Amino acid sequence: MKKILLVFCSLLTAGISFSQNTYGSADDEARIVLNTYVPDQIEGISSVTRNALSNKLSQIASQNGMGGTSYNPRFIITANIVAATKNITPTVPPMHAYNLEVNLYIGDGIDGILFASHSVSVRGVGDNETKAYLDAIKNIKTRDPQYQRFIDDAKRKIIEYYNANCDLIISEARALESMHEYNAALATLFRVPSVCKECYEKCMKLLGPIFDKKIDHDCQVLLAQATNAWNSGQDYNAGQRAIRFLAGIDPKASCFPSAIALSERIAKRIKEVDQREWNFLLKVQQDDVDIEKLRIRALRDIGVAYGSNQPKVIYNIRGWW
């Protein structure tokens, strides 16, 4: 399949370098991923203990197919610790021996809806309280099959959430689209995992048209910026500034021919004024890459970037324990 890539360069400069995107496994696109959250208000545990507990929660989610990188902050796995007994051993030196109840929870951390819970009893011994807690948390067996039902119950309810709220998700995306918040609209739709087949398919039908509107909108913005950069001097340096904007225009954008026309005017003017060659190249490559997959990856990157730039979520777990 032919793929047209726009490449702007100057033969008399070192050129502009572009970093190549690298993509990991696409599995997270298909799966429901849980965000690990350990609240600060767990009584009596240190930051070191909190980090150890967070790592255990991540491992439990991963071992049961719900771990990974998530750009949807809604669904969380969290925990609370209750000390059933705290004893000081009659040894030299004395040791702290604790029996802990570690209560695990999965739910909607935005709306505060609990989906599933599970309790694990562990024992830890150490020469101080922190080490006793750490030893107990170390004894949480993340591969224990007892977690499977806990995870499955939560997963089923998350799928039910998407099925029940799909129309609201689509309406939210449409509203964002109408305000030209295309990245937010795309991220909203792309958060629906493909395991939620019915809602996922509805959202996928909207992604393409919104993405096309996004690249058309971005094209107009970049073209205006390139034109302003060029008009600021209409010389070689102004051309260099303009080219950085033109290089970001998607070849499928509606104003792409205007970008080509501007580049040709830049090349002509630089030739006349500076007696320098300014090359505009359209590179046509033959490859077997599925263009649709590239678009999906681009959409995924938009979702990740948008999610990463959002303020930290304040979770609502009131009443979970």
What range does the domain containing 227 cover?
A: 2-17+181-308
pLDDT at 9 exceeding the cut of 70: no
Query: pLDDT tens digit string along 284-298?
Result: 333 445 566 666 677
Q: Tell me: the pLDDT tens digits for 30-79?
A: 568 899 999 887 877 888 999 999 999 999 999 988 887 777 889 999 99
Report pLDDT for 292.
Answer: 64
Q: Which two tokens stand for residue 251?
A: 């070849």
Q: Do 13 and 37 share a domain, yes or no?
A: no
Task: Quote the number of domains for the chain.
Answer: 2
For residues 95 and 202, state if they share a domain.
no
Residue 319 in domain = no
> Of 161, 195, 228, which marks where a domain is finished?
161
> Is 171 domain-assigned?
no
Tell me the C-alpha distance between 153 and 156, whole Å: 5
Name the pTM for this structure: 0.75
CB 219 within 8 A of CB 250: yes
Query: Quick one: 205 and 303 in the same domain?
Result: yes
Q: Cite the beta strand spans of 90-214 per DSSP E.
A: 96-108, 113-126
Same domain, 215 and 115: no
Same domain? 112 vs 223: no
Cα angle for residues 198, 199, 203 (degrees, 5° grid): 125
Q: What is the pLDDT of residue 284?
A: 36
Q: Do residue 108 and residue 13 come from a single domain?
A: no
Which of 99, 129, 161 is at the close of a domain? 161
229 band by pLDDT with thresholds 50, 70 and 90? very high
- Is 145 found in the same domain as 194? no
Inside any domain, residue 90:
yes
Determine, yes or no, domain membership for 274: yes
Residues 41 and 144 in one domain: yes
Query: Does 141 share its domain with 198?
Result: no
Two tokens at 253? 């954008």
Are 105 and 8 part of one and the same domain? no
Residues 254-276: tens digit of each pLDDT:
999 999 899 889 988 888 876 66
Residue 167 lies in a domain: no
- What pLDDT is recorded for position 291? 60
Query: What is the reported pLDDT for 21?
Result: 31
What percentage of the chain carries pLDDT values higher than 70?
83
Instruction: Give per-residue pLDDT as tens, 93-151.
Output: 999 999 999 999 999 999 999 999 999 999 999 999 999 999 999 999 998 888 989 99
Cis peptide preceding 93, ω within 30 of 0: yes
In a domain, 176, yes or no: no
Looking up residue 81, the CATH number of its domain turns out to be 3.30.160
Q: Which tokens in the block code for residue 275?
A: 């007696």
In a domain, 168, yes or no: no
Residues 131 and 199 placed together within one structural domain of the fold = no
Of the CA atoms within 13 Å of residue 141, those in its CB half-sphere come to 9
Do residues 128 and 47 share a domain?
A: yes
- Assigned domain for 71 exists: yes
Residue 33 neighbours by CB under 8 Å, 6+ apart = 61, 66, 67, 68, 69, 70, 72, 75, 193
Picking from 161, 191, 225, the residue at the C-terminal end of a domain is 161
